[in-house]
Amino acid sequence: MKPRYVPLVLAALLLLGVLAAWARPPEAAAATPTRPANTIDFTGVRDIELGETDAQLTSEGALTRPQAACGPVLTEISQASPVFADGQLVILWANPPLTTPEGVGVGTPLATAQAAYPDATTLSAPPGTYQFDGLMVTNGDRSYLFLHDSQTVRKAVVGYTDHVQRLFTTGFGSC
């Protein structure tokens, strides 16, 4: 190649590189993990994350407080019921069709839940109560709690482990 063409070739390669980068989607957008619509996991559900504040979710339009409801309600995800402590989202009740990535949710046979989470802790309800027994799966400071009737998962919860444990130990209101 003649030396006088070298700057021209370099400029053309640079221009092609800029055009190729411009035509591609941004790396950050491509790398953003998304959950399937009916999946709840240790971090939350869809674009709702444990740890977000009620003020933050309200300002984003993701949370409302209807007068007829027992408490705050997620505007786009009626299958998940939020629980806040000190203004922070700490627990989500998961109703059908929401399931964990392993497919466990309300209505799942207990044997299937135990097979999906062989290291889960078995929790026994206090004798003489109407409380369900539980199966608790922990991952760091987060947990799943599957309340069951010895055959089927009847209630499913995801949240911070200390709050989930407190929920099982002290029970929950009728609301």
Give the tens place of pLDDT for each residue, 104-163.
Answer: 999 999 999 999 999 999 999 988 888 899 999 999 999 999 999 999 999 999 999 999
**Domain count along the chain:** 1
Bridge partners for 85 per DSSP? 88
Would 84 be classed as within a structural domain? yes
Rounded CA-CA distance 82/65 in Å is 11
What pLDDT is recorded for position 158?
A: 98
Domain that residue 102 falls in = 40-170
Within 8 A by CB and 6+ apart from 171, the residues are 129, 131
Question: What percent of the chain has pLDDT above 90?
Answer: 68
Q: Model confidence at 16, in pLDDT bands (50, 70, 90)?
A: very low
Would 142 be classed as within a structural domain? yes
One-letter identity of residue 61: G
Mean pLDDT of the chain: 85
Does 31 have pLDDT greater than 70?
A: no
Would 8 be classed as within a structural domain? no
